Amino acid sequence: MSRALFAPSMNVAELRESATIAVSARAKALAAEGRRIVDLGAGEPDFPTPKFICDAAHAAIDAGRTRYTQVEGILPLRQAIAARANARPRRSGTEVTPSNVVVTTGSKQALFDACFTLFGAGDEVLVPTPAWTSYYEMIGLARAVPVVVRGARDRELKVTADDLRRAATSRTRGLLLNSPCNPTGAVYDLAELTEILELASSEGWWVISDEIYRRIVYDGEAPSLLDVPSAGERVVIVDGVAKAYSMTGWRIGWAIAPPTVARAMTALQSHTTSNASTPAQYAAVAALTSAEAEPAIRAMVSEFRRRRDAALRILHSADADVIEPRGAFYLFIRVGDGSQSPEAGTICAQRMLEEHGIAIVPGAAFRAPEWVRISYAAPEEHVLTGVSALTSVLESASR
């Protein structure tokens, strides 16, 4: 009798491959076959890492900084992260110190470590939805249950404290917030965050706040949980250099957490990845401390704004139902109303790729199957080609 070589363990039996990475992989496979593919699926800035940051990495390597570091990250980087947290003008609560900070291999690892450390079997974790595909899987890997909480269309799909209260049970242990949001670009204002945090702290829930897109914002500022006076102690803030500094491949992120949680996350990391890449940590110090960083971020954000506005003009003139992004670099567009096919977004993304050679992400990846996501972290002509193709797919579908 032949036995299958491999049956996935219980740990990963339910795990689904990241849908955003799957689209990019399919687009790359078609490109390898010689098709011209416009990739609007990827979630990474299309700008090079600024030179002063690359120079800092070269200098670190030349100085022999190529060995293991402390598991929680080098002190100058943790100091720089703490200093930025304390410098926030509306900063409330106790001071952030380096002992609150764990440097990780991308913010993705910080999110995973936080979920794995705070949640376990039987716990329920509220996920304002639509949300980034990996949250649901990370919570599942911790053997906890992600609970989908949908936001209303007239609030840009954001949730309120009442929505969360209704979804909670006696097993609810926490909540995963993301503002600016991937995939919608929606930004929670201070009043909305305050209301949610008051509920969380009165219920004793942990709040993990993914603030990776906070610096990519178009109107004013996106508040951090560090700005919320009532945030309480059960808060883990996750951020990193990937998006704001165009450093996706350097893999540096971090968590700011109470010292006990930071120590538990460090212990977990000590048995999995050890420290984040050493030269990349030195590069991140330059990103966070150099005066050259702010103009570089402003230039990138103003380019994103130009692309967003040009794409929105096309979508509005075609009467598309699009959420006007206030941050991040994604357009979230409704392509079905539930009456035709529950997977309208998947069908639309397939047609865009196979018929037009344009890769976009189906909303099912974010648990919103009637929607699709277009990234405008791509050259403007690509974005406009993609948005125009989408409007023609929508028109032909409605005929």
The residues that touch ligand PLP, with contacts defined as CB under 6 A, are 43, 106-108, 132, 178, 182, 210, 212, 240, 242, 248, 253
Candidates 171, 205, 215, 167; CA nearest to 159 is 167
Of 284 and 387, which has the nearer Cβ to ligand PLP?
Answer: 284
Of 240 and 362, which has the nearer Cβ to ligand PLP?
Answer: 240
- Minimum distance, C-beta of residue 249 to ligand PLP, in the bound complex (Å): 9
- Minimum distance, C-beta of residue 185 to ligand PLP, in the bound complex (Å): 11
- Minimum distance, C-beta of residue 178 to ligand PLP, in the bound complex (Å): 5
Measured CA distances, 199 to 15, 175, 192, 204 (Å): 31, 11, 11, 9
- Minimum distance, C-beta of residue 111 to ligand PLP, in the bound complex (Å): 6
Q: How many residues does the chain have?
A: 399
Of 41 and 336, which has the nearer Cβ to ligand PLP?
Answer: 41
- What region does 143 belong to: left with phi over 0, alpha with psi -120 to 50, or beta? left
| Euclidean distance between CA atoms 362 and 372, whole angstroms | 5
- Concatenated DSSP letters for 101-158? EEEESHHHHHHHHHHHHH--TT-EEEEEES--HHHHHHHHHTT-EEEEEEPPGGGTT-
The C-alpha angle 117, 120, 121, rounded to 5 degrees, equals 165
- Minimum distance, C-beta of residue 119 to ligand PLP, in the bound complex (Å): 17
Is residue 152 within 8 A of residue 385, CB to CB? The reply is no
Question: Given CA atoms 185, 187, 192, 194 in this order, what sign does their dihedral have?
Answer: positive
Question: Given CA atoms 196, 202, 207, 212 in this order, what sign does their dihedral have?
Answer: positive
Candidates 97, 70, 67, 12; CA nearest to 269 is 70
| Euclidean distance between CA atoms 302 and 18, whole angstroms | 29
Of 276 and 393, which has the nearer Cβ to ligand PLP?
Answer: 276
Torsion on CA atoms 127, 160, 95, 252, rounded to nearest 10: 40
- Minimum distance, C-beta of residue 391 to ligand PLP, in the bound complex (Å): 25
Of 146 and 357, which has the nearer Cβ to ligand PLP?
Answer: 146
Of 240 and 369, which has the nearer Cβ to ligand PLP?
Answer: 240
* Chain residue at closest Cβ approach to ligand PLP: 106
- Minimum distance, C-beta of residue 176 to ligand PLP, in the bound complex (Å): 10
- Minimum distance, C-beta of residue 118 to ligand PLP, in the bound complex (Å): 17
Of 223 and 357, which has the nearer Cβ to ligand PLP?
Answer: 223
Of 103 and 145, which has the nearer Cβ to ligand PLP?
Answer: 103
